């Protein structure tokens, strides 16, 4: 699989990576054997970038990745994790002592001395403007606790603030055919600054797979049940912030745009990696078949121009008014 450099870090990632939120929590139950099978399928399909966080299953996702990689010393996989959501979301909690403690825990979970890429995990907006926060992150690099750092953001404004920081290697942001606003300002600014873009929630929490209907019932411990209106965390993380009924209808239209040989999910992933400035996209997977199908999107032919035009028209007609003023 093709790889791209992650901005200023000098590190490389496969254009399609693997997001491992599903392997930790908030998507229903995934047992340990199945989680390891997902990681194996992704790696065997050419994926060299795993994204996780210290709160995914309270560390379970990090530990599962560590277990998998211990058994596969032949693989070179860059592992990015995130920190900052284990405490109250107050700017004063984002200090060096806490960073060191969170970093120590993640390094133990991952079984490494130095983390490849650490990311602030969608912190409160004022954190992005704090000199002390970024000085603390620089200290983690100087202490060789991390090789590089980036941020995960909710809004385009947060992304632009972070991109202006001289040592930010990457920005992780929601980008998919139902969330196009980053294309207009964030991606051009990142390209100019040499900052990598990690596209998350690429399938709009599964909507863009075309599998769901108005009658689909999600498990009680699945965020698609309990966070539709932002009850637990930012609403934009669930279905990209799109009203579910609208999203199901728009997703049915989207599925009809898939060229021959593409699934709707592969259409979404292919569209994302074709956007100039995207480094990698991190779909999740609940089983090996999904992991392999996601990775296969990297080898599909480029999208016809008329398909890209139709995707943008669908977004502008059905989705943009719902999401752009929020994020």
Q: Given this model, what pLDDT does residue 27 score?
A: 62
For 4-44, write each residue's pLDDT tens digit.
999 989 999 999 999 999 887 666 667 889 999 999 999 99
Does residue 172 fall inside a structural domain?
Answer: yes
pLDDT beyond 70 at 253: yes
The CATH number for 88's domain is 3.20.20.100
Please give the mean pLDDT across all residues of the chain.
96
For 153-177, write each residue's pLDDT tens digit.
999 999 999 999 999 999 999 999 9
Question: Is the four-CA dihedral 239, 272, 325, 214 of positive or negative sign?
Answer: negative
Range of the domain at 309: 3-322
Task: Read off the pLDDT band of 70 (50, 70, 90).
Answer: very high
Average pLDDT over residues 99-117: 98
Task: Sort 74 into a burial class: Cβ within 10 Å, 0-12 / 13-18 / 19+.
Answer: exposed
Give the single-character DSSP code of 258: P
> Helices marked H in 28-144 — which ranges?
32-44, 60-70, 96-110, 131-142
For 255-304, write each residue's pLDDT tens digit.
999 999 999 999 999 999 999 999 999 999 999 999 999 999 999 999 99
Does residue 327 fall inside a structural domain?
Answer: no
Domain count, the chain: 1
Q: Indicate the SS3 state at residue 171.
A: strand
Average pLDDT over residues 52-60: 95
Which H/E stretch holds residue 149?
strand 149-152
Sheet containing strand 280-281, strands side by side: 18-19, 49-51, 78-83, 117-121, 149-152, 170-174, 196-200, 280-281
Average pLDDT over residues 34-57: 97
Does residue 294 fall inside a structural domain?
Answer: yes
For 220-234, write each residue's pLDDT tens digit.
999 999 999 999 999
User: b/e map of 208-241 (b: 16 or more CB within 10 Å)?
Assistant: bbbebeeeeebeeebbbeebbeeeebebbbbbbb
Nearest alpha carbon to residue 13 among 5, 24, 23, 21: 5
For 121-156, write each residue's pLDDT tens digit.
999 999 999 999 999 999 999 999 999 999 999 999
Q: What is the spatial distance between Cα 62 and Cα 184, in angstroms, rounded to a whole number?
A: 34
Can you name the residues that pair with 118 across neighbouring β-strands?
81, 149
Q: Given this model, what pLDDT does residue 24 score?
A: 79
CB of 283 within 8 A of CB of 18?
yes
Q: Which two tokens stand for residue 295?
A: 């990775």
Q: Given this model, what pLDDT does residue 12 score?
A: 97
Q: What is the spatial distance between Cα 325 and Cα 218, in angstroms, rounded to a whole number?
A: 28
């Amino acid at each position: 699989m093709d790889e791209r450099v992650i901005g200023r870090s000098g590190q490389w990632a496969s254009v399609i990576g693997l997001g491992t939120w599903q392997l930790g929590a908030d998507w229903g139950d995934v047992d340990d054997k199945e989680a390891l099978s997902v990681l194996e399928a992704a790696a065997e399909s050419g994926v060299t970038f795993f994204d996780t966080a210290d709160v995914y299953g309270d560390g379970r996702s990090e530990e599962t990745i560590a277990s998998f990689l211990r058994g596969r010393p032949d693989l070179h996989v860059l592992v990015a994790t995130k920190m900052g959501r284990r405490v109250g979301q107050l700017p004063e909690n984002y200090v060096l002592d806490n960073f060191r403690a969170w970093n120590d825990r993640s390094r133990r979970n991952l079984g490494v001395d130095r983390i490849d890429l650490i990311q602030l995990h969608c912190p409160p907006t004022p954190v992005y403007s704090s000199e002390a926060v970024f000085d603390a992150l620089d200290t983690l690099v100087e202490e060789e606790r991390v090789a590089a750092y980036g941020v995960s953001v909710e809004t385009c404004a947060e992304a632009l603030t972070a991109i202006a920081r001289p040592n930010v290697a990457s920005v992780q942001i929601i980008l998919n055919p139902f969330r196009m606003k980053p294309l207009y300002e964030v991606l051009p600014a990142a390209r100019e600054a040499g900052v990598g873009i990690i596209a998350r929630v690429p399938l709009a929490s599964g909507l863009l797979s075309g599998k769901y209907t108005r009658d689909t019932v999600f498990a009680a411990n699945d965020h698609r049940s309990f966070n539709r209106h932002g009850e637990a965390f930012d609403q934009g993380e669930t279905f990209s912030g799109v009203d579910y009924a609208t999203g199901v209808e728009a997703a049915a239209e989207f599925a009809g745009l898939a060229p021959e040989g593409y699934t709707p999910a592969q259409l979404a992933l292919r569209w994302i990696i074709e956007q100039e400035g995207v480094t990698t996209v991190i779909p999740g997977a609940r089983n090996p078949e999904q992991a392999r199908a996601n990775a296969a999107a990297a080898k599909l032919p480029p999208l016809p121009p008329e398909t890209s035009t139709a995707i943008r028209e669908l977004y502008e007609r059905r989705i943009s008014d719902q999401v752009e003023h929020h994020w």
